[in-house]
Amino acid sequence: MRNLSAYTTLGFAFPPLLASLYREVANGGYGPEYQLLPLVGAGRTVLSDYQSERSSSAGGATPYWPAGVLPVLDWGCGMYAAVDCRSETAAVLLFEPNAIVDDGAAAWFVDAGSLAEWLETRLAGSGWYQEDADEHDDVTEPTPWEMAASRIAE
Protein backbone atom coordinates (compact mmCIF):
# COMPACT_ATOMS: atom_id res chain seq x y z
CA MET A 1 0.00 0.00 0.00
CA ARG A 2 1.59 3.25 -1.12
CA ASN A 3 0.07 5.26 1.74
CA LEU A 4 1.94 3.13 4.30
CA SER A 5 5.30 3.89 2.70
CA ALA A 6 4.33 7.58 2.53
CA TYR A 7 3.48 7.52 6.24
CA THR A 8 6.80 5.89 7.02
CA THR A 9 8.64 8.50 4.97
CA LEU A 10 6.64 11.59 6.03
CA GLY A 11 5.37 10.76 9.50
CA PHE A 12 1.73 11.54 8.70
CA ALA A 13 -1.06 9.83 6.80
CA PHE A 14 -2.68 10.94 3.58
CA PRO A 15 -6.34 11.97 3.74
CA PRO A 16 -8.54 9.03 2.62
CA LEU A 17 -9.53 10.56 -0.73
CA LEU A 18 -5.94 11.39 -1.66
CA ALA A 19 -4.79 7.91 -0.65
CA SER A 20 -7.58 6.41 -2.77
CA LEU A 21 -6.61 8.47 -5.80
CA TYR A 22 -3.04 7.21 -5.65
CA ARG A 23 -3.99 3.66 -4.74
CA GLU A 24 -7.01 3.10 -7.01
CA VAL A 25 -6.72 5.54 -9.93
CA ALA A 26 -3.04 5.95 -10.78
CA ASN A 27 0.35 7.07 -9.53
CA GLY A 28 -0.35 10.65 -10.65
CA GLY A 29 -0.03 11.70 -14.26
CA TYR A 30 -3.72 12.47 -14.78
CA GLY A 31 -6.01 15.45 -14.75
CA PRO A 32 -7.14 18.11 -17.16
CA GLU A 33 -4.15 20.03 -18.56
CA TYR A 34 -1.87 20.14 -15.50
CA GLN A 35 -1.54 16.67 -14.03
CA LEU A 36 -1.12 15.33 -10.51
CA LEU A 37 2.45 14.60 -9.54
CA PRO A 38 3.30 10.93 -9.09
CA LEU A 39 3.47 9.74 -5.51
CA VAL A 40 6.59 7.65 -6.05
CA GLY A 41 8.95 6.75 -8.86
CA ALA A 42 11.78 8.31 -10.81
CA GLY A 43 12.01 12.08 -11.10
CA ARG A 44 9.82 14.56 -9.27
CA THR A 45 7.21 13.07 -6.98
CA VAL A 46 4.87 14.22 -4.21
CA LEU A 47 7.29 12.77 -1.67
CA SER A 48 10.47 14.23 -3.16
CA ASP A 49 8.95 17.67 -3.70
CA TYR A 50 7.59 17.77 -0.13
CA GLN A 51 10.95 16.81 1.32
CA SER A 52 12.80 19.24 -0.94
CA GLU A 53 10.49 22.17 -0.15
CA ARG A 54 10.56 21.50 3.61
CA SER A 55 14.36 21.28 3.54
CA SER A 56 14.79 24.45 1.45
CA SER A 57 12.28 26.26 3.62
CA ALA A 58 14.02 25.28 6.87
CA GLY A 59 17.43 26.25 5.53
CA GLY A 60 16.43 29.62 4.10
CA ALA A 61 16.20 33.09 5.59
CA THR A 62 12.41 33.08 5.19
CA PRO A 63 10.78 29.73 6.04
CA TYR A 64 7.82 29.11 3.77
CA TRP A 65 6.72 25.43 3.57
CA PRO A 66 4.23 24.19 6.23
CA ALA A 67 4.42 20.79 7.90
CA GLY A 68 1.89 18.27 6.61
CA VAL A 69 1.15 20.08 3.34
CA LEU A 70 1.83 17.91 0.29
CA PRO A 71 2.43 19.39 -3.15
CA VAL A 72 0.24 17.42 -5.56
CA LEU A 73 0.29 19.55 -8.69
CA ASP A 74 2.88 21.90 -10.18
CA TRP A 75 1.19 24.93 -11.77
CA GLY A 76 4.54 26.18 -13.09
CA CYS A 77 6.51 29.28 -12.07
CA GLY A 78 7.08 27.73 -8.64
CA MET A 79 3.35 27.55 -7.85
CA TYR A 80 1.82 24.40 -6.38
CA ALA A 81 -1.57 23.00 -5.51
CA ALA A 82 -1.02 21.28 -2.18
CA VAL A 83 -3.19 19.18 0.12
CA ASP A 84 -3.29 19.92 3.83
CA CYS A 85 -3.04 16.40 5.21
CA ARG A 86 -3.95 17.63 8.71
CA SER A 87 -7.23 19.16 7.58
CA GLU A 88 -10.31 16.99 8.19
CA THR A 89 -11.53 17.90 4.71
CA ALA A 90 -8.12 17.73 3.01
CA ALA A 91 -8.21 21.42 2.08
CA VAL A 92 -6.35 22.29 -1.10
CA LEU A 93 -3.95 25.20 -0.82
CA LEU A 94 -2.25 27.34 -3.41
CA PHE A 95 1.43 28.11 -2.92
CA GLU A 96 2.40 31.32 -4.76
CA PRO A 97 6.11 31.98 -4.10
CA ASN A 98 5.99 35.44 -5.68
CA ALA A 99 3.95 36.59 -2.68
CA ILE A 100 6.88 35.94 -0.31
CA VAL A 101 8.45 39.20 0.76
CA ASP A 102 9.41 38.99 4.43
CA ASP A 103 6.91 36.34 5.47
CA GLY A 104 6.58 32.85 3.97
CA ALA A 105 2.98 32.66 5.21
CA ALA A 106 2.01 35.34 2.68
CA ALA A 107 2.53 32.77 -0.09
CA TRP A 108 -0.29 30.47 1.06
CA PHE A 109 -3.92 30.63 -0.02
CA VAL A 110 -6.96 28.37 0.36
CA ASP A 111 -7.92 27.20 -3.11
CA ALA A 112 -10.72 24.85 -2.01
CA GLY A 113 -12.15 23.81 1.34
CA SER A 114 -11.75 20.15 0.45
CA LEU A 115 -9.96 17.91 -2.01
CA ALA A 116 -13.34 16.69 -3.30
CA GLU A 117 -14.44 20.28 -4.01
CA TRP A 118 -11.13 21.05 -5.74
CA LEU A 119 -11.40 17.97 -7.96
CA GLU A 120 -14.98 18.86 -8.93
CA THR A 121 -13.92 22.41 -9.83
CA ARG A 122 -10.99 21.15 -11.90
CA LEU A 123 -13.10 18.62 -13.77
CA ALA A 124 -15.77 21.26 -14.43
CA GLY A 125 -13.10 23.64 -15.73
CA SER A 126 -14.39 26.45 -13.53
CA GLY A 127 -11.43 27.38 -11.32
CA TRP A 128 -9.42 30.60 -11.00
CA TYR A 129 -6.72 29.03 -13.20
CA GLN A 130 -8.92 28.81 -16.29
CA GLU A 131 -7.86 31.14 -19.10
CA ASP A 132 -11.08 33.18 -19.06
CA ALA A 133 -11.76 32.99 -15.31
CA ASP A 134 -11.77 36.77 -14.94
CA GLU A 135 -14.80 36.92 -17.24
CA HIS A 136 -16.96 34.85 -14.88
CA ASP A 137 -18.58 36.20 -11.72
CA ASP A 138 -18.93 32.78 -10.10
CA VAL A 139 -15.20 31.94 -10.00
CA THR A 140 -13.89 31.96 -6.45
CA GLU A 141 -10.45 33.47 -5.92
CA PRO A 142 -8.11 31.82 -3.41
CA THR A 143 -8.08 33.51 0.01
CA PRO A 144 -5.16 33.80 2.47
CA TRP A 145 -4.61 30.67 4.58
CA GLU A 146 -4.82 31.76 8.19
CA MET A 147 -2.93 28.74 9.57
CA ALA A 148 0.13 29.19 7.37
CA ALA A 149 2.39 30.97 9.88
CA SER A 150 1.80 28.49 12.70
CA ARG A 151 2.28 25.47 10.44
CA ILE A 152 5.45 26.89 8.88
CA ALA A 153 6.89 27.40 12.36
CA GLU A 154 6.61 23.67 13.17
What would the pLDDT profile of 45-85 be if each residue is shown by its tens digit? Answer: 999 999 999 999 999 899 999 999 999 999 999 999 999 99
Burial environment of residue 90 by CB neighbours within 10 A (0 to 12, 13 to 18, 19 or more): buried
Q: pLDDT band at residue 7, thresholds of 50, 70 and 90?
A: low
Q: Is the pLDDT of residue 133 over 60?
A: no
Domain count, the chain: 1
User: Is 131 a domain residue?
Assistant: no
Q: Where are the beta strands (DSSP E) in the chain?
A: 69-76, 79-84, 92-95, 108-112, 143-144
How many residues does this entry show for the chain?
154
* Residue from 109, 127, 119 nearest 30 by CA: 119
Q: Is residue 114 part of a domain?
A: yes
Global pTM exceeds 0.75: yes
Instruction: Please report whether residue 100 resides in a domain.
Output: yes
In this prediction, residue 4 carries a pLDDT of 45
Say yes or no to pLDDT of 148 above 70.
yes
Inside any domain, residue 110 = yes
Rounded CA separation 79/40 (Å) = 20
Range of 91's domain?
2-125+138-152
Average pLDDT, the chain: 88
CATH, residue 62: 3.40.1580
Sign of CA dihedral 17, 66, 40, 33: positive
Q: Is residue 133 part of a domain?
A: no
Decide if 132 is inside a domain. no
Residue 3 has pLDDT above 50, yes or no: no
